[in-house]
Structure 1
Amino acid sequence: MVGEMTNNGRIRPSFPVKDLTSNEGSEYGGPVEFTREDVETLLHERIKYKSKYNYKERCENTMDYVKRLRLCIRWFQELELDYAFEQEKLKNAMEMNEKHCADLEVNLKVKEEELNMVIDELRKNFASVQVQLAKEQTEKLAANESLGKEREARLAVESLQAALTEELAKTQGELQIANQRIQAVNDMYKLLQEYNSSLQLYNSKLQGDLDEAHESIKRGEKERTGIVESIGNLKGQFKALQDQLAASKVSQDDVMKQKDELVNEIVSLKVEIQQVKDDRDRHITEIETLQAEATKQNDFKDTINELESKCSVQNKEIQELQDQLVASERKLQVADLSTFEKMNEFEEQKESIMELKGRLEEAELKLIEGEKLRKKLHNTIQELKGNIRVFCRVRPLLSGENSSEEAKTISYPTSLEALGRGIDLMQNGQSHCFTFDKVFVPSASQEDVFVEISQLVQSALDGYKVCIFAYGQTGSGKTYTMMGRPGNPDEKGLIPRCLEQIFQTRQSLRSQGWKYELQVSMLEIYNETIRDLLSTNKETVRADNGVSPQKYAIKHDASGNTHVVELTVVDVRSSKQVSFLLDHAARNRSVGKTAMNEQSSRSHFVFTLKISGFNESTEQQVQGVLNLIDLAGSERLSKSGSTGDRLKETQAINKSLSSLGDVIFALAKKEDHVPFRNSKLTYLLQPCLGGDSKTLMFVNITPEPSSTGESLCSLRFAARVNACEIGTAHRHVNARPLDYRLSLG
C-alpha cells in the first residue's frame, strides 16, 4: 500500500474500501481518508436513537458504527504494514550499504598493505644506493690523496676515476628510477585519497538514510502518542459506563427491595384476610347457632343484632383488605416491568462495556507492540552504530538516609523523548541533564531490569560475545544488581536470572537439534593481582604475594578470545550447580569495611560463561561468551576514608578505574593507540571494548544528597562511555570437527 498526502494533511491509502469490507455495503466504496480528528470523532461518537424501543433501528445504527470502526482499524493496519515494509526496506538497504562499505574497506586495506610493501622495498633500495654512494665518495677522496702523494701511480688513478665515473652514472640512473617509482606511489596515493573522499560521500549518504529512519521512528512515536491519548479517552468512557452500571445496580437493588417489601406486605395481607375469613366463618356459625336458638329464645335478639353488626364491619374490612391486595398486585406488576427494563438496560450497558474493554485491550496491545518495535529499532540502531549501551539505575533510599531532599537532588524528565531515558541531577543549584539507553527509577524491580537485558543473554546463546558490567561508587547497588539478595527469590540479581534463562532456552532448543556445553570461571582482580575464586586451595586464593603473577597471565588469541592461564574452569549442567559455585566464590571474594559500606567489595569480580553449541541436523557450531562483571567502588579517597590496607586497596582500585577511563577516552577520540595494557582490568576487557562484543554498562548511583558529587562523576563517565563507537559485534559460527561431535554423543 502506498499512501498519498493530500493538501489538508490527510493520508489517503490507495486501496479501495469495497475490497476490504465486501460484506459491509457498497456505500463505503472509494478511497479512504482519515485524520486524527476523524478517528477521535469516531471513538467519541455516541449512537443516537429516535425511539428507545426500536431495536431494529438500534441494531442497524450499531452495525453501521461497527463497520466504520472496522474500516478505521483496517486503515490503521494497512498503515502499520506500510511502515513495517518501509522500515524493512531501509534496514535491508542499510545492511547492503554496510556490507558494500566493509568490502570497500577491506579492498582499501589490501591496497594500502601492497603500497606499504612497495614503499618499504623502495626505501631499502634507496638506503643501499645511498650507502654505496657514500662508499664511492670515500674511495674518491682516498684516490685524490693518493694522487697527491704518489705521482708515479697517476695512470692507475685515472683509470680508477673513469671506473668511478661510470659507477656514479649508473648510480644516478638507479636514483632516477627510484624517483620515478616514488612518483608513481604518490600518484597512487592521490587516487586512494580520491577513493577515500568517495567513501566519505557514500557514508554521508548512509547517514542521510539513517536520519530518515530516525524520522520514521519519530513519526511512529507520535502515532503511539495518539494511540495513548485514544486509550485515555477510552478509559474515561469505560469509567463513565462503570459509574452508570453502578448506578443501575443501585437502582435495581432498590427496586428489588421494594419488590420484596411488597411481596412481604401481600403475604401479611393474605394472612390477615385468611384470619378475617376464619373469623367470619366462625361468626356465621355462631350466628346460625344463635338464630337456631333465637327461634326458641327471643331473649337473645340484642345479641344477634350485635353479632350481625360485627359481621358487616368485618365484611367491610375484608373488602378493604381485598382492595389493598389488588393495589399491591398492581404495584408488583409495575415493579416487575421496571425491573425488566432495568435488566435490559443493564445487559446493553454490559455489552457496551465488554466492547469498550475489547477495544481498550486491543489499543493497549498495539501500544505494547509499538513499544517493543521502538526498543527493537533502538537496539538495532545502537548495534549498527557499534556504541556501548549504558543503563542507569538509581537505588532507593535506605533507612537512616535523608529523604527530604531527594526530589531536589534527582529528577526524571517526563517529555516523550526523554521518558524512561533521562535523568537530571541538581548540584549547588545547577542542573545537570543526562540521557542514556534506559534509566531505572528506585522503584524498579530486579525483574524489570532483567527484562531489558534478556535479549543480550539470548545473543550469547546465538554465538555472540556479550559483556555486562556494573560501575559506580561503593554502596550504590552494583553487587545487588549483579548478584541480588541471597535467600530471596524475588530479588535475584542478573547473574542468577541470566543462568536460569540460558538453561531454560538450552532445554527448549533440544527439540531443534541443538546441544550446548557450558563452562564457568570466576576471578577477581585484587591489587592488580588475579585470584581464582573457584580454586579449592584457600592459601592460593587468600595470599597477596604468594602466587607468581605469571601463573594467571591474560592471553588473547587471533580470534579475539580471552584466556587466563591455569584459571579453574568448571563444566556446569544446572543452575543449582552454578548457584553453589557463586556461593563458593562469594566466600572467597575480598571485602572490607569503609566509610561508605560495612561490607565493601575491594576487588573487581568477573564471571565468565563460555557457551559451545552444536546442531546435529545442520552441522552448525556457535561459540558465545557471557561476561558479567561487578567492578569495585569508584569513590575518591577523601570520600571512602580508607587507611592502611584499605588505602592500598583503594589506590589500586582507583588506578585500574582510571586506566578504564583512559581507554574509554582514547576510544571516544578514536586514537591510534588505546592503552589496554595499563591495568589487568582493561587488558582483560580488551575484547569487550575493542569492537567484537555486545557491551552494556550499568551505572549505579545513590539518591542520597551527600553523594551528589560522586553520582555526578559516575554519570559523566557513563555519558562518555555511551558516546564510544567500538564497532559491530560478529557472530562466531563455524563447522565442528568430527571427533568433537562424537564426544557430545
Structure 2
Amino acid sequence: MVGAATNGGRIPRQVFSVVNGSQDPVVGPASSIGSDCGAIEFTREDVEALLNEKIRTKNKFSLKEKCDSMMEYIKRLRMCIRWFQELEGDLLLDQHNLGKMLESAERKCKDMEMLMTEKEEELNSIIMELRKNYTVLQEKFAKAESDKLTAMETLSKEKDARLSAERSQSSILEELERAQREGSSANQKILSLNDMYKRLQEYNTSLQQYNSKLQSELNQTNEILKNVEKEKVSMLENLGNLKGQCSSLQDQLTATKASSDETMKLKEALSSEVGRLRLDLQQVRDDRDRQLLQVQDLSAEVLKYKEWTGKSAAELGNLTTKSIELEAMCSSQHDQIRKLQEKLTTAENKLEMSDVSAFEIRTGYEEQKRVNSDLQLRLAETELKLVEGEALRKKLHNTILELKGNIRVFCRVRPLLSDDVADTETKSVYFPTTTETLGRGIELLQHGQKHSFTFDKVFVPESSQEEVFVEVSQLVQSALDGYKVCIFAYGQTGSGKTHTMMGTPGNYDEKGLIPRSLEQIFESKQMLQNQGWKYEMQVSMLEIYNETIRDLLSTNRSGPPECGSKQHTIKHDANGNTHVSDLTIVDVRSSREVSYLLSRAAQSRSVGKTQMNEQSSRSHFVFTLRIIGVNESMDQQVQGVLNLIDLAGSERLSKSGSTGDRLKETQAINKSLSSLSDVIFALAKKEEHVPFRNSKLTYLLQPCLGGDSKTLMVVNVSPAPSSINESLCSLRFAARVNACEIGTPRRQTSARQLDARFSYG
C-alpha cells in the first residue's frame, strides 16, 4: 500500500510477510526495495519537484549543455517509474495473500458451524435419553405408590379383623369353663392373626423404605435433568451467538470479495494505463534517441561552425528554431509525467482503503477464532465430565455390590462353532438393547417362550478375551491390595469355560483370564516397588477328580488318577484361611515361571472325549496365587489370595454318551455341581445350615461362598439351539448365585512379619 505519509512527507509502503502461517504487516521505507534504485528515497515533495522541474542552462544557445541536462532529467524519471513498478508488484503479492487468507477463514467458519451442529444433535439425544429415564422412574414411583395404598387397605382390614377377634376373645374367656376346646382354637386363631399383623407391619415398613428410595432416586434424576437443561440452554445461547458472529463474518467476507473484485478491475485498468504509459515512455525514448542523433549532428555542425566561422546567420536561426522545438517537446513530456503521477496517487488511495478493510476482516477472524477455541474447550470439558461420570457410576455400582456382599456374576456367550452350523436355523439367544439392560441382559427363546435374565455384565459372542479381562482387572488388582479374590467359570460341557480361563496356547490375543491376571499382577508388582513395596508370591495347582484331590505340581505322581500317591485333606482355620495337606507350593518371581507351571499342570490334568466335546475337562481345576506384600517404610504387611477355578462342565448322560470311566467321571462331576447348587440355595434362603461338606468342591470353596472373599462367577453359555435346555439351567443357577449375599470383603493387613507364609485361602 502506498499513501502520503504525515512524517516528513514520505511515501511509506506496507508489505505483508507470511511466516509460519501468520500474516503481520511490516512497514518500511520505500528505499528498502528496488535493486536499481540504490539508496535513493522518493518522497512526495521529490516527485512533485521532479515533475515541476524545468531545464535551465547557463548558455541558452548551448545545445550540448541542454542535452546533458535532459539526459540527467530522463534518468531520474526512469528511476522513479521503476520504483513505482516494483511497488506495484509488491501490492499485487499482498492482494494475492489477502485472498488466500479470506478463503481459509471461510473454510474454517464452515467447519466450525458443522461441528457445532453435530454437538447440538448429540446433546439433544442425551437429553431425550434422560427424559425417557425420568419417565420410567415416574412410572415406577406411581406403581410403588399404588402398591403402598393396596397394602394400607389390607392393613386396615386386618386391624378390623383383629378388633373383632379381640371382642370374640373376651366372649370366649367368659365362657371358658363351658367351652375349653373352643377357647383353645380361638387362641390359635388370635396368635395367627397377630403373626399376620406383624408380617403386614414389616411389609408396610419395607414398602415405606422402598418408597423413600424411589423418591430419592427421582429427586436425583430431576436434579440431573435440570442441570442438563441448564447446560443445553447455555450451549444454545452460545450457538446462537456463534451463528450471529458467523453470519456477520460471512457478510464481511462478501463485502471483502466485492471490494476485491473492484480492486481487480482497478488493477486491470491501472495495468492498461501502465501499458499506455510504457508506450509513451518508449516514444519518449525514441524521441530522445532522435534528439541525441540530432545533438550529435548539431555538435558536428557546431565544430564545423567553429572551424568555419564565416557561415551565415540563416543557419544560426535554423538552429535556434530547432532548440525552441526541443524545449516545447520537453514541456509536453513534463505534462505527461504529471498526469501519470496523478493516476498513481489515485491507485494508492484505493489500495490503502482495501488494506484497511482487510485488516478489519483479519481482526474479526481472530476474534471468531478465539470464540471457537473457547467453545471447543467447553465441549471437551463436557465430554470429559460425561466419561468421569460413567466411570464413577461403575465404581459406585461395584462398591454397592461389595457392601451388600453379593457374588458378582458375568455371562459369556461363546461364538457358534463349525459343529453348530447345521443347528443355526432358529436363533435362541438374544441380547436386549434397552437402556436398563444394555450390556447386562440376555434372553433365551424356548418353545416360543422368552426367558429374560440380568447379570452384572453380559459378553456377546463377538467379545474378545481382552474385553472380558478389562472387566475383571480391577478385581484381580484387589489381590495385591490384600483381599481374597475368587473367580470361577461355570457352564455345560463345550460352553467355553477352559477357553475363558486358559485361552489358546501360543496365541497372544487369545490368552485367557489366568495368564492375563498373572501379567497384570507382576506388572503392578514392578510399579509398586518404587513405592517401597516388596512382594513374595507362591503358586499351587490342584484338581478335584472323582471327589479326590490331586496335586498337579507334584513330582511323585504315579498310577491312575483315582489312586494318587498322597491323600490330601482340607482344613479351615479361625481366620477363614484354607489349608490343603501335603500340597506342593512353589515360590515364583515372574509370569514366565507361572506360565511354565501352568503348561506343566495342563499336561497332568484329567481330560477325555465325549459326544459333546472332543477334549472335555473331567475335573475341577483350582489355581491359587498367594501374595505377601511388605512395606518397611509404612511398617505394614498385606496378605492376598487369588483363586482362579475352571469347573468341570455339567452334562446329561443321555447327550454325552458316557460309559465306563467316563460315566463314573460324569456322575462325580454332576454330584459336585449339584452340591454347589444346594449350597447356593441354602445361602439364598439364609438357612442356618449350609451343606458345604457334601462335596470336596463346596468344602474347598467355603471361604469364597460364605466368607469375606471377593467372588466372581463367569457363567458360559452355548448359543446352539440344541443346548437351550442346558443353557437355561446354567442361567437360572447363575441368577440364584447373583442373588446370594455373603460376608463383606475384608482386607488382610497386619504388622510386618518377613517370615510369614500363607496357606491356601
**TM-score of Structure 1 vs Structure 2, range by shorter chain:** 0.5 to 0.7
Alpha-carbon contact 1:252-1:339 (below 8 Å) kept: no
Q: Are residues 1:731 and 2:747 paired?
A: yes
> Is the counterpart of residue 612 in structure 1 residue 628 in structure 2?
yes
Provide structure 1 residue ranges, at least 5 long, that are not aligned to the other structure.
1-196, 297-311
Q: In the TM superposition, what is the alpha-carbon distance from 1:453 to its structure 2 partner?
A: 3.1
- What CA deviation, in whole Å up to 9, does each residue of 1:523-555 have, x standing for no partner? 222333333222345x54x8323415x523323
Task: Give yes or no for the alignment of 1:589 onto 2:608.
Answer: no
Q: Which of residues 483, 497, 518 in structure 1 aligns to 2:516?
A: 497
- Displacement after TM superposition at 1:254 (Å): 14
Distance change >3 Å, CA 576–CA 714, structure 1 → 2: same
Matches within 5 A, 1:574-653: 574-617=590-633, 619-640=635-656, 646-653=662-669
What is the aligned partner in structure 1 of residue 432 from structure 2?
412
Partner in structure 2 of residue 525 of structure 1: 544
**In structure 2, how many angstroms separate the alpha carbons of the residues matched to 1:678 and 1:411?**
37
Equivalent residue of 1:674, what SS? coil
Q: 1:536 to 1:253 in 2, by over 3 A?
A: farther
Question: Structure 2 vs 1, CA of residues 482 and 639 (structure 1 numbering), >3 Å: closer, same or farther?
Answer: same
| Structure 1 residues 227-306: aligned runs within 5 Å | 276=279, 280=283, 284=287
Q: 1:258 to 1:727 in 2, by over 3 A?
A: same
Aligned to 1:568: 584
* Aligned counterparts of 2:575 and 2:476: Cα–Cα separation in 1: 21
In the alignment, is residue 430 of structure 1 matched against residue 446 of structure 2?
no
- Range that drifts further, 613-622 or 432-441: 613-622
Q: Is 2:382 the partner of 1:374?
A: no
Aligned counterparts of 1:590 and 1:738: Cα–Cα separation in 2: 38
> Could you say if the C-alpha distance between residues 458 and 650 of structure 1 is closer, same or farther in structure 2, counting changes exceeding 3 Å?
same
Structure 1 210/546 Cα, relative in aligned 2: closer, same or farther at 3 Å? Answer: same
Code of the aligned partner of 1:431: K
- The one of 628, 646, 671 equivalent to 2:687 is 671
Q: What is the aligned partner in structure 2 of residue 116 from structure 1? A: none
- Matched to 2:543, the amino acid is E
User: CA 1:259–1:619 in 2, change beyond 3 Å: closer, same or farther?
Assistant: same
Number of aligned positions between the proteins: 530
TM-score of the aligned structures, taking structure 2 as reference length? 0.56
Q: 2:484 aligns with which of 456, 465, 474?
A: 465
Structure 2: which amino acid aligns with 1:359?
R
Q: Secondary structure at the match of 2:693?
A: helix
Question: How high is the sequence identity, in percent, across the aligned residues?
Answer: 62
Deviation at 1:445, TM superposition (A): 4.4
Cα deviations by residue, 1:481-532 (Å, 9 ceiling, x for unpaired): 3234444545543323333333344344445554332111112223333332
- CA offsets, 1:125-149, max 9 Å, x none? xxxxxxxxxxxxxxxxxxxxxxxxx
Equivalent position of 1:128 in the other structure: none
Structure 1 Cα separation of the partners of residues 723 and 258 of structure 2: 65
Contact preservation (8 Å) 2:632, 2:752: no
Deviations 1:372-427 (A, max 9, x none): 33333333332332221112233445578669889873122423x43433333333
Partner of 2:564: 547
Residue 705 of structure 1: how far off its partner (Å): 4.3
On the 8 A contact 2:545/2:562 being kept in 1, the answer is no
Distance in 2 (CA, whole Å) between partners of 1:656 and 1:696 is 19
Distance 1:271 1:492 in 2: 80
Alpha-carbon contact 2:446-2:724 (below 8 Å) kept: yes
Counterpart among 450, 459, 462 of residue 469 in structure 2: 450
Aligned equivalents of 1:475, 1:257: Cα separation in 2: 76
Q: Alignment partner of 2:478: what SS?
A: helix
**Which deviations, in whole Å up to 9, do the C-alpha atoms of 1:312-340 show, x marking residues without a partner?**
9xx99xx99x98x9999899778766765
Out of 730-739 and 670-679, give the one that drifted further: 730-739
Q: Residue 294 of structure 1: CA displacement?
A: 13
Q: Is the 8 A contact 1:469 1:630 kept in 2?
A: yes
SS in 1 for 2:583: coil
| Whole-angstrom distance in 2 between the partners of 1:246 and 1:481 | 58
- 1:633-654 CA deviation, whole Å, 9 max, x = no partner? 3343445455665554444333
Pairwise CA distance, 1:434: 1.4
Question: What one-letter code is carried by the residue in structure 2 that aligns with 1:545?
Answer: E
Q: CA deviation at 1:224?
A: 5.2
The Cα of 1:469 is off from its aligned counterpart by 0.9
Q: How does 1:30-179 map to 2 (within 5 A)?
A: none
For the aligned residue pairs, the C-alpha RMSD in angstroms reads 5.4
- Answer yes or no: is 1:389 the counterpart of 2:405: no
User: Do the aligned partners of residues 731 and 326 (structure 1) sit closer, same or farther apart at CA in structure 2, a change above 3 Å counting?
Assistant: same
CA separation of 1:508 and 1:409: change in aligned 2, threshold 3 A:
closer
Q: Which region of structure 1 is more displaced relative to structure 2, 447-456 or 619-628?
A: 447-456
Give the greater-gyration-radius structure (CA): 2
Secondary structure at 1:350 match in 2: helix
Counterpart selection for 2:697 from 681, 694, 706: 681
Cα distance in 1 between the residues matched to 2:424 and 2:225: 34
Contact map agreement 1:596 1:639 (CA 8 A) in 2: yes
Counterpart of 2:469, as a letter, is: F
CA deviations 1:203-242 (Å, max 9, x no partner) are: 9989977985676466546655666788899999999979
Q: CA deviation at 1:699?
A: 1.5
User: In structure 1, the residue corresponding to 2:471 is in which secondary structure?
Assistant: helix
CA distance in 1, matches of 2:428, 2:222: 31
Deviation track 1:676-726 (CA, whole Å, cap 9, x = no partner) reads: 233222221122112332211112224444443333222111101111122
Q: What CA distance in whole angstroms lies between the structure 1 residues aligned with 2:597 and 2:271? A: 81
